[in-house]
A and B are shown apart, each in its own frame.
Chain A
């Protein structure tokens, strides 16, 4: 079946350091979404990327979609304790009927 790989599984950073999580697919995606889930909470939508090479920014968060639409990344600059949580990507394949979620990257920020 279709699969979106996400790395790393865990990341511990000192507050103020940067953080990046990556998602990869072996085949081309139509579009990709990113979600954040706080501990004990539910996933919350962050952004959707559709175009090849697309880059979007939300304050300290930068989202990229690869030129081949097979990979994507989320980069957080100068992490804060409020960034703690698990970040998921979710890819949609052409002709498909569902989003396939990555396994998530759990971010811990050490004050």
Chain B
């Protein structure tokens, strides 16, 4: 158990509404990530954080913003949800080293449906 909690686990919302997903870790790790998983695409990085208030974009960041005001929490916000953002969202942390050295530990996932 890597001490990662995602909330909510399931959410159904309507197009145009804002949505925030929360990732909480209990082990004070520096690196945190948000991925989305879609059939035929594998896992794609949305945003990542390398410390409090330090974030950067991944390969599919358009339409998403993130914030990290505390080490333990990494929030993913969809300002105005669209149907193309229907997906399963995974938060991940890495225990060691830099971006390319640590294994990723994933949360249980948050299934978002945008109608």
Contacts and interface: CB of A to CB of B under 8 A. Distances in A.
B44 A97 contact: no
A96 B42 contact: no
Interface string A40-80: 01111100100000000000000000000000000000000
A6 B59 CA distance: 18
A41 B100 CA distance: 24
Contacts of B44: 101
The main secondary structure of chain A at its interface with chain B is: strand
Contact of B42 (A1, A33, A48, A104): A104
Contacts of A99: 45, 100, 104
Contact of B106 (A44, A98, A103, A104): A44
Closest 5 CB pairs of A and B: A45-B103, A101-B42, A92-B100, A42-B106, A101-B43
B107 to A, nearest CB: 6
B90 interface: yes
